[in-house]
Amino acid sequence: MLLLEMSKPGRCGYTLPKLDVPEVSLDELIPRSYLRETEPGLPQVTEPEVVRYFTQLSRKNHGVDVGFYPLGSCTMKYNPRVHEDIAALPGFSRIHPRQPESTVQGALQLMYELDQCLAEIAGLAKSSLLPAAGAHGELAGLLIIKAYHKFNGEADQRREIIIPDSAHGTNPASAQMAGFTVKEVPSDQRGGVDVAALREMVGPQTAGLMLTNPNTLGLFDENLEEIAAIIHDAGGLLYYDGANANAILGITRPGDTGFDIVHFNLHKTFSTPHGGGGPGAGPIVVSEKLVDFLPSPIVEYSDGRYHFATPKHSIGPIKAFYGNFGVLVKAYSYIRRLGAEGLKSVSENAVLNANYVMNQLKDDYYLPYDRTCMHEFVLSGKRQKELGVSTLDIAKRLLDYGVHAPTIYFPLIVEEAIMIEPTETESKATLDVFIQTMKTIAEEARRNPEQLKSAPTLTPVKRLDETKAARQPILKY
C-alpha cells in the first residue's frame, strides 16, 4: 500500500512547539500570487505508520549491508561507518563555502593532505579534488590535455584520443564532450591493448590515449611501458582511468609507468557508498608538467597557512566551490586509518578474492581470458546460452538466492559477459556461498532451463520489462 492510500483525515505524525513570536498572517509574509489555493494533499498518517512504511520499503532493497554485491567495475565494498561519523563532525559538516579561509584552516588542511595522499598513491605530482564523479574527472583531464597541446601550439593538429574497445562507455563520451575525435584500438588475444595496431594509429594527430588498468576484463596490461612509449614518442599524453583502483593500491603507481593524468573514484575505492546516485568524487592527479593547467581552485600552503590558489594556466573552475567535501573527508579518513600497509593489503585481498572465485567457477562457466586476474574477472554465459539460458536469466536467478547480480553484458567484447568483483571486504565463507550458488545455477541451467526464465520468483518485485521501465517510466503517484 502507498503512503497516500493509508491516509485518514485528521491523523498526524508531528507536533509543533508553541508559537513564541507574534503571529502574522501569511498574506503579510508572502505575496498572494505565490500562495497556493488548495491544501497540498499530503498523506495524513501517524508517526509509527510512517516509520513502518519506510522501514518496509528499505527492506525491499538490496544493499551491501544486506548481502553480497559482486557488481563488476563498481567496487561495492563495505564502507566502515566510522568514516561517516568523521564526515559528520560539525567542523566538517557545518561550515560554509564562503567562510573566510582563516576560519576553516582544518578543512583546507584536510584537502591539502588528501591531495598529497592521492599524489603518492598515483605516483604523480598534484591533484584536483573538484570533479564530482569519474566521468567528470575524465572530462577535466581531457580539457587539461587540450590546454596542454594548445599551450604548445598544437591544439589544431592533435585532435585524436585513442581508446581501447574494452573501455568503459564514459571514456569515449568524455573525449567527445571535450571536442576530440575518438579512435578505437582493438584488444589482443590476451585481453590487453593490441600494441601493433596502436603503433599504426599514432601520429602527429594524436592528442592522447585513455587506458583503464586493470582493464574492464580485470586484466593488468602486460605492455604498459611499451604503450606509454608509443604514445609519448608520438607527442601524446597518457590518461589512466583509475576508477577501480582496488587492485593497485601500494603495489603499482600509474605515474611510475609513464602516465600523465589519473582519475580515482573516491566512491568506489575510497569508502564512499554509491549506487544511489551520489554524491561522489572523481579527483584527478597530474604529472609535474601539467600542474599549471589544473582546474581552480587548488589548496596551497605557505607562510604557515592553507589557502586557495589558481594555477597559472588553469582550465578554470569545473565545479561549484570545492567539490563534494563530505566525500573527501571519508576518503581522507579511510586512507589515514589504513595507512600505506593497510591500503596495500586492501589490494592484495581484493586480488586474492577475485582469483579464488574465478578459479572455482571456471569449470562451470566459460572463462574467455584464462590468466591471473586483478580485482575482478569476466566470465561468459555462452555455454548456458546454448542450453537456452541467457546471462540475464542467470543474473535474475541470483536475486532469488539473495545475491546482487554481477555486471552483465559488459565489457562489450565478451559474449554474454558476467563481470564479477568480490572486493576485499568479503570473507571466504561468503565467497564460498556465492561460488556454490553459481554452481547450483549452472546445474539448474542443465536440468531445468525453463525454471530460470521466470526468475526471480522470491523477490518483492518479479521480472520487470526493463525496456518499458526505461522508455515509459512512471515517476509519480
Interface ranges with ligand PLP (CB under 6 A) = 73, 133-135, 168, 170, 212, 216, 241, 243-244, 265, 280, 282
Could you give the CA distance from residue 104 to residue 263 in angstroms, rounded to a whole number?
26
Q: How far is the CB of 74 from ligand PLP (least distance, A)?
A: 6
Smaller CB distance to ligand PLP: residue 262 or 452?
Answer: 262
Q: How far is the CB of 411 from ligand PLP (least distance, A)?
A: 10
Smaller CB distance to ligand PLP: residue 117 or 247?
Answer: 247
Smaller CB distance to ligand PLP: residue 127 or 384?
Answer: 127
Q: How far is the CB of 207 from ligand PLP (least distance, A)?
A: 19
Could you give the CA distance from residue 413 to residue 400 in angstroms, rounded to a whole number?
28
Q: How far is the CB of 297 from ligand PLP (least distance, A)?
A: 22
Q: How far is the CB of 243 from ligand PLP (least distance, A)?
A: 3
Q: How far is the CB of 242 from ligand PLP (least distance, A)?
A: 8
Smaller CB distance to ligand PLP: residue 71 or 234?
Answer: 71
Smaller CB distance to ligand PLP: residue 73 or 314?
Answer: 73
Could you give the CA distance from residue 416 to residue 261 in angstroms, rounded to a whole number?
33
Q: How far is the CB of 72 from ligand PLP (least distance, A)?
A: 9
Q: How far is the CB of 268 from ligand PLP (least distance, A)?
A: 6
Residue nearest to ligand PLP (CB): 134
What does the H/E/C string look like for the chain? CCHHHHCCCCCCCCCCCCCCCCCCCHHHHCCHHHCCCCCCCCCCCCHHHHHHHHHHHHHCCCCCCCCCCCECCCCCCCCCCHHHHHHCCHHHHCCCCCCCHHHCHHHHHHHHHHHHHHHHHHCCCEEECCCCCHHHHHHHHHHHHHHHHHHCCCCCCCCEEEEECCCCCHHHHHHHHCCCEEEEECECCCCCECHHHHHHHCCCCEEEEEEECCCCCCCCCCCHHHHHHHHHHCCCEEEEEECCCCCCCCCCCHHHHCCCEEEECCCCCCCCCCCCCCCCCCCEEECHHHHHHCCCCEEEEECCEEEEECCCCCCCCCCCCCCCHHHHHHHHHHHHHHHHHHHHHHHHHHHHHHHHHHHHHCCCCECCCCCCCCCCEEEECHHHHHCCCCHHHHHHHHHHCCCCCCEECCCCCCCCEEEECCCCCCCHHHHHHHHHHHHHHHHHHHHCHHHHHCCCCCCCCCCCCHHHHHHCCCCCC
Smaller CB distance to ligand PLP: residue 215 or 287?
Answer: 215
Q: How far is the CB of 280 from ligand PLP (least distance, A)?
A: 5
For 279, counting Cβ atoms within 10 Å of its Cβ (0-12 exposed, 13-18 middle, 19+ buried), the class is: middle
Smaller CB distance to ligand PLP: residue 235 or 411?
Answer: 411
Smaller CB distance to ligand PLP: residue 111 or 419?
Answer: 419
Q: How far is the CB of 241 from ligand PLP (least distance, A)?
A: 5
Smaller CB distance to ligand PLP: residue 253 or 397?
Answer: 253
